[in-house]
Chains A and B, each alone.
Chain A
Amino acid sequence: MATVEIDNLTVRFGEVTAVDAFTMTLDQGEFVVLLGPSGCGKTTTLRCVAGLQSCTSGEIRFDGTPVTNLVPAERNVGMVFQFVSLYPHLTVRQNIAFPLRARGVRRAEIAKKIDRVATVFMIGDILGHYVVGLPPGARQKVALARAVVREPAVLLLDEPLSGVEEQYREEMRWELRHFQKELGITTVYVTHDQREAMSLADRVVLMRDGKTIQSGPPAALFDDPADRFAASFIGSPSMNFLNLKVGADGLSVASDQTLLVSPPQQVIDRYRAQGLEEVILGIRPHAVELANGAAVDNNVWPAQLVDAALVGRDLQADFSIGGQTIKAELPFDADVGGASVLRLPPERCFFFAPDGSRLG
């Protein structure tokens, strides 16, 4: 278990920059998730930490010692790959023993360590099985056991659940987090699924085009996104965006300028300072309130119901406001009719400039 420092990591493939001056420090025992769409550089970064990918520039340190020039075998990392690659010709026990045998650990020692991880991961009963016939949950546990058996400095996981069926994922996610906490191992987890990231991470690092967009605890990304991309990527169902127009007397909905918005003062100051003519409003579906009967006012607008569906405990309703669509997540017994009135609480609205940067 170690602290991991990634210092200005840059990886270039010919003309393409996959990772651009990426910097991050992990404390011992921390669970960090690298999140982002495909091609954002998260897997490349992970592979650099593992030593499977060479970096164009930058340094990686474990507990302060640089490992950038070391081969994977010398770095003492544990890794679980996307398609959980267990050795098909070996039993579970032999799979787990492999990293230890590769380093010449003695037989008695190996047996002890295997028993220990088998207890932690509760796989004692399948130690003698060949890995071929095992269900996905068991395979993942074996892969994890193999990765941690020699107490690596850091545990790396590359979208380990992406090949797993939906119904197993949540349980496996929970188990994974449980094991990680129990073992206290520094972990870097890569995924494109933001729900996974939000539920697993101590800290989420959102990446795009090789750069870090935002880094912080899940709540921070949810409640205080750094830019429009972060706001749209996190949260399910995703954030609503409305196009607003800057007028002489304030902000209004671009397609129906009778509908007015009252933003906080600092937002007004910022868009005036930048001389913007357009602003984008963002609000999460569950923040949208139904206010039938209320008078039309700033942030309180008439809306036309377009569609509604019951999803789980909530009613997801799509409304049309001035031609633009807003999705609201309402209690299942909400009274939605053709014509409704919606309230967008100002304190729960986000404002963005057209280039995606956050205004407030």
Chain B
Amino acid sequence: MRRSPLLVPALIVGAYLAFSDGPVIWMILSSIKSRTDLFTLPPKVLFHPVWTGYQAVFGVGAASNSVVAVGLYASLVTSILTSVFGTLIAVALGTFAGYATSRFRFPGHGDFMFFVLSTRMIPPVAVLVFYLVMYSRLGLVDTKVGLILVDAFINLGLATWIMKGFFDGVPSEVENIALVNGYSRFYAFTRLVLPMVRGGIAATAGFCFIFAWNEFSFASILATTSAKPLPVKISVAMGATGMEWTQIFAAGVVLVVPVAIFFYLIRRYLLIGMTFGVLGKGSE
């Protein structure tokens, strides 16, 4: 039996991958190009690699002492700290809230879920107008704590919806067995239900980390000097001394590595995470 040709799909895949991964390869190449090589046409593919970009990002070598590069490494550290702690808080809050909304029908249940969902819709700029006022009054401007708070907040909705989905997938008989035998619901929650949603917690943590890690809008207003996370630091690179493209691209590559790792680790949950828990099965 003759199979219909795979030619058309193959062409499409090839064309699409050229479009999507071509720029990636270009960026990686550009991150190790010297100044002159960056701007020559036709674009060079073979050249002498230059590592100043990466040196600057990791704070080693002479390259990290240039005006623009100072603070790149510090920004990297800030990014790591704020993303990790922001994720922890978001996952914790989201897990508790997700469990409560899954199991209990409390007054205001629908409204609560609506407000949680609404965090996805809010354009950062709009609320930032007031956040700046609020933060300056609380003394949180330009602090890591302030950023952690933001990183937690932007992911609260995601964490709650995803975890609710996973908890919905655990039948309430599980807790009922415990309750009937005299255990507290809290005991049932921590010892029985939580272990069952391990995958969900991992997926949630992964996505929260990714979104916190790449976050720019909030940080660009609320942390512009000493507590700049890496994305903000990069944007400042278009400063008076001109762009240090090598450093920008090196930083870009460094930024994407953890994200790629996480994407690969939680690839089974991609659909759930990217659609805010709407699509995709929680137990696969």
Do A and B interact with each other, yes or no? Answer: yes
Residue of B nearest to A48 (CB): B1
Distance, CA A186 to CA B3, complexed state (A): 26
- 5 example contacts (A-B, Cβ-Cβ < 8 A) are as follows A68-B1, A70-B2, A71-B1, A71-B3, A71-B4
Please encode chain B, from 1 to 21, with 1 for each CB lying within 8 Å of some chain A CB and 0 for all others: 111100000000000000000
Closest residue of chain B to A53 (Cβ to Cβ) is B1
Known: A51-B1, A71-B1, A71-B4. 10 other contacts (CB 8 A): A53-B1, A54-B1, A55-B1, A68-B1, A69-B1, A69-B2, A70-B1, A70-B2, A71-B2, A71-B3
Q: How far is the CA of A51 from the CA of B2 in the complex (A)?
A: 9
- In the complex, what distance in Å separates the CA atom of A54 from the CA atom of B4? 13
- Kindly report which residue of chain A lies nearest to residue B2, judged by CB atoms: A69
Interface residues of B in 27-63 (CB under 8 A from A): none
- Distance of A55 Cα from B3 Cα, bound (Å): 13
Q: Which 7 A-B pairs have the closest CB atoms?
A: A54-B1, A69-B2, A51-B1, A71-B2, A71-B4, A69-B1, A71-B1
CA distance A30 to B102 in the complex (A): 59
User: What residue of chain B has the Cβ atom nearest to residue A73's Cβ?
Assistant: B4
Interface size on B, residues (CB 8 A): 4
Q: Which B-chain residue is minimally distant from A51 (CB atoms)?
A: B1
A247 to B1, CA, bound (A): 57
A 39-88 contacts with B by CB, 8 A: 51, 53-55, 68-71
- By a CB distance below 8 angstroms, the chain A residues around B2 are 69-71
The binding surface of chain B is classed by DSSP as loop
Which residues from chain A sit less than 8 Å from chain B, CB to CB?
A: 51, 53-55, 68-71
Q: Which of B95-119 contact A (CB under 8 A)?
A: none
Give how many A-B residue pairs fall within 8 Å (CB-CB): 13
Closest CB-CB distance, B63 to chain A, in whole Å? 58
Q: Which A residues are CB-close (under 8 A) to B1?
A: 51, 53-55, 68-71
Q: Please indicate the chain A residues that have their CB under 8 angstroms from the CB of B4 in the complex.
A: 71
For B209-239 the 0/1 string (1 means CB < 8 A from A) is 0000000000000000000000000000000
Nearest B residue (CB) for A67: B1
- Within the assembled complex, what's the spacing in Å between the Cα atoms of A53 and B3? 11
CB neighbours of B3 from chain A (8 A): 71
Tell me which of B1, B2, B3, B4 has the highest count of chain A C-beta atoms within 10 A of its own C-beta: B1
In the complex, A51 Cα to B3 Cα: how many Å? 10
CA distance A317 to B3 in the complex (A): 57
- Complex Cα spacing A69 to B4, Å: 11
B79 to chain A, nearest CB (A): 47
How close is A253's CB to chain B, nearest CB, in angstroms?
54
- In the docked arrangement, what's the CA distance between A53 and B1, Å? 8
A68, B1: Cα distance in complex, Å? 6
A217 to B1, CA, bound (A): 32
Residues of B near A55 (CB, < 8 A) are: 1
Across the interface, which residues of B come within 8 angstroms of A54, CB to CB?
1
A57 CB to nearest B CB, Å: 12
Chain B residues near A71 (CB, 8 Å)?
A: 1-4
Identity of the chain B residue whose Cβ is nearest the Cβ of A52 in the assembled complex? B1
- Cα–Cα, bound, A190→B3 (Å): 25
List residues of chain B with CB within 8 A of the CB of A53: 1
Query: Which chain B residues border A69 with CB–CB below 8 Å?
Result: 1-2
Chain B min CB distance to A349 (Å): 47
Chain A residue with Cβ nearest B3: A71
| A74 to chain B: closest residue by CB | B2
Q: Roughly how many angstroms separate A260 CA and B2 CA in the complex, as a whole number?
A: 61
Instruction: Give the docked Cα–Cα distance between A311 and B2 (Å).
Output: 53
B contact residues around A51 at 8 Å (CB): 1
User: In the docked arrangement, what's the CA distance between A68 and B2, Å?
Assistant: 9
Chain B residue at smallest Cβ distance from A72: B1
Q: How far, in angstroms, from A243 to B119 measured CA to CA in the complex?
A: 78
In the complex the two chains form, what is the Cα distance from A171 to B2 in whole Å?
Answer: 40
* Nearest A-chain residue to B1, judged by Cβ: A54
A70 and B4 alpha carbons, distance in the complex (Å): 10
Q: A69–B3 Cα gap in the complex (Å)?
A: 9
> A70 — which chain B residues lie within 8 A by C-beta?
1-2
> What is the minimal beta-carbon distance from B6 to any residue of chain A, in angstroms?
13
CB distance from A186 to the nearest CB of B (A): 20
Docked complex Cα distance between A54 and B2 (Å):
9
Task: State A70–B3 Cα separation when bound (angstroms).
Answer: 9
Most chain-A Cβ atoms within 10 A of its Cβ — which of B2, B3, B4? Answer: B2
Residues of B within 8 A of A68 (CB): 1
CA distance A71 to B3 in the complex (A): 7
User: In whole angstroms, what is the CA distance A69 to B1 when docked?
Assistant: 4
Nearest-Cβ distance from residue A30 to partner chain B, whole angstroms? 24
- Chain B nearest CB from A49 CB (Å) reads 11
Nearest CB to that of A60 among chain B residues?
Answer: B1
A68 and chain B: residue at smallest CB distance: B1
Q: In the docked arrangement, what's the CA distance between A55 and B4, Å?
A: 16
Chain B residues 128 to 180 lying within 8 A of chain A, measured CB to CB, are: none
Q: How far is the CB of B211 from chain A (nearest CB, A)?
A: 35
Q: Within the assembled complex, what's the spacing in Å between the Cα atoms of A55 and B1?
A: 7
Give Cα distance in the complex from A46 to B8, angstroms. 30
Nearest-neighbour CB distance to chain A for B117, whole angstroms, equals 28
Bound: A324/B80 CA distance, A? 80
CB B106 to nearest CB in A, in angstroms, measures 36
Shortest B274–chain A CB gap in Å is: 25
Bound-complex Cα distance A19 to B4 (A): 24
A108, chain B: closest CB distance, angstroms: 30
For the complex, what is the distance from the CA of A71 to the CA of B1, rounded to whole Å?
6
CB of A12 to closest CB in B, whole Å: 14
Binary flags per residue of B169-194, CB closer than 8 Å to A gives 1, else 0: 00000000000000000000000000
Would you give the shortest CB distance from A15 to chain B, in whole angstroms?
Answer: 21
Q: Residue on B with the closest CB to A69?
A: B2
Expressed in whole angstroms, the minimum distance between the Cβ of B7 and any Cβ of chain A is 15
